[in-house]
Homo-oligomer: A and B are copies of this chain.
Amino acid sequence: MTRVDVLVVGAGIIGLSSAFHVKRLCPSCRVLLVEKHPGPGHGDTGRSAAAFRAFFTSRTNMALAASSIAFYREVQEREGFDLGMRFTGYLFLLTEEQHQALAPVLEELRRRGLGYRVYSPEELEELLGLRTRPGGEEAELMQLPGIDVGVLAENAGIIRPERLVEYYSRRIGEMGVEALYNTRVEKILVEPEQPLGVPGEPLPWQKARVVGAATSRGEIRADVTIVAGGAETPFLLDPVGVDIHAKPKKRQVFVIRADRPELRRLLHAEGFNSLGLAPFILLPKGVYIRPAPEDNAFWVGASDHLGRPFSWEPDPQPEEHFYEYGIYPVLHNYLPAFENARPSSAWAGFYDISIDGQPVVLSEPGLVAAAGTSGSGIMKADAVGRIAASLALGKKRAALYGGEEVDASILGTRSRRVEEERLVI
């Protein structure tokens, strides 16, 4: 049996950040990280679309993302540790109706000093080769709306998750956090504070707490266990009666090589940032395009709502028809540069979708759970880790990077105090 002060379950980006901040706040704590994969970031962290934006309507979402992005920027620019961050911007392509609906939100964001730029249809046509009025039989059948305006969020862009994973895992190694890979958590352990040795403990009248985990390498006991299992978190917490209020949903990302002049021109579009790169583009109907300049490619995907299941499987595979029928028809109708483009590769992972699209960080005696990042975990990981670490160390408040303090219970389920997010992809 191993005994530690803080056990962190999961070496995805949330677990890594949590372990880092626990050790930073409590250098004398013995912190142990366990992960079923052979290394850090091998799960859904590495299967994301790897983009970031400090552009949300929920103040909480904004604080989480903006402070995390500022921290990553500091790491890259001051510490000189390349995270592959590129401030390409996020371009929302909107109908006039959507723009009208968002107008008060954008006004509020402007007041808060969140820079954005507005593009006319003519500018979008010129800079991206965008068909703002897609026509033809297919476009009509699909009821593809016309695009009347582009809104570019400037404090936004792309990042390389494997570099961020490398940063945190290197730092926690230096700080003395122990890590056990290839180690599967079989069960979170709950015990009464004063065990009696009778059946069914903890009994309803007993004060119970989480005391660690049973793993494939034996029992690990801890004062506090931080569960950061991403989309698999419910499988660990349901058996102990804790509801993280998040569910797994498959995400698929397809890689399109910029192997012809039209796509190369699009990838290196001018007019959006000082890098001469296309921004992260949000087309109507939930289709998104991420520039991947290091691969001379684009990553494309689509969010969906009603109809596709909440479910989990150990080795999710991308589905050819999801690209062919789900993404391509939208893609090529708006951006003819993608005409006949087919993916050269693809992967699938899981979103971990919470009740409101914002992360969940809850605490119970001996337990902190951090999950539900809903597809924006990387861009908020530093802040989520700070909040999880603060709860694990019994603090009422958490200091985000840059100094803003938040109530550490803000992302809990019963204690939740987050605002509605209206800039949803």
Contact = CB atoms under 8 A, between A and B. Distances in A.
Nearest to A416: B355
B243 A310 contact: yes
A285 B241 contact: no
A414 B305 CA distance: 13
For this chain, the copies found in one complex come to 2
A contacts with B: majority SS? loop
B311 A239 contact: yes
Contacts of A322: 200, 204
Nearest to A283: B205
Given A243-B355, A302-B204, A305-B241, A198 B325 contact: yes
A307 B326 CA distance: 43
A82 to B, nearest CB: 34
A241 B205 contact: no
Contacts of A303: 204
B365 A204 contact: no
Contact of A241 (B204, B209, B245, B249): B249
Interface residues of A, number: 58
A304 B200 contact: no
Interface string A288-317: 000000000000001111111111000000
Interface string A319-336: 101100111011000000
A318 B364 CA distance: 27
A216 B231 CA distance: 32
Given A205-B285, A355-B245, A325 B199 contact: yes
A175 interface: no
Interface string A330-363: 1000000000000000000000010110000000
A364 B306 contact: yes
B414 A308 contact: no
Contacts of A144: 205
A194 interface: yes
Contacts of A353: 243
A307 B202 contact: yes
19 contacts: A141-B194, A190-B306, A196-B325, A199-B321, A199-B325, A200-B321, A204-B286, A204-B287, A204-B322, A205-B286, A208-B305, A208-B307, A209-B306, A241-B249, A241-B304, A241-B305, A241-B309, A241-B310, A243-B310
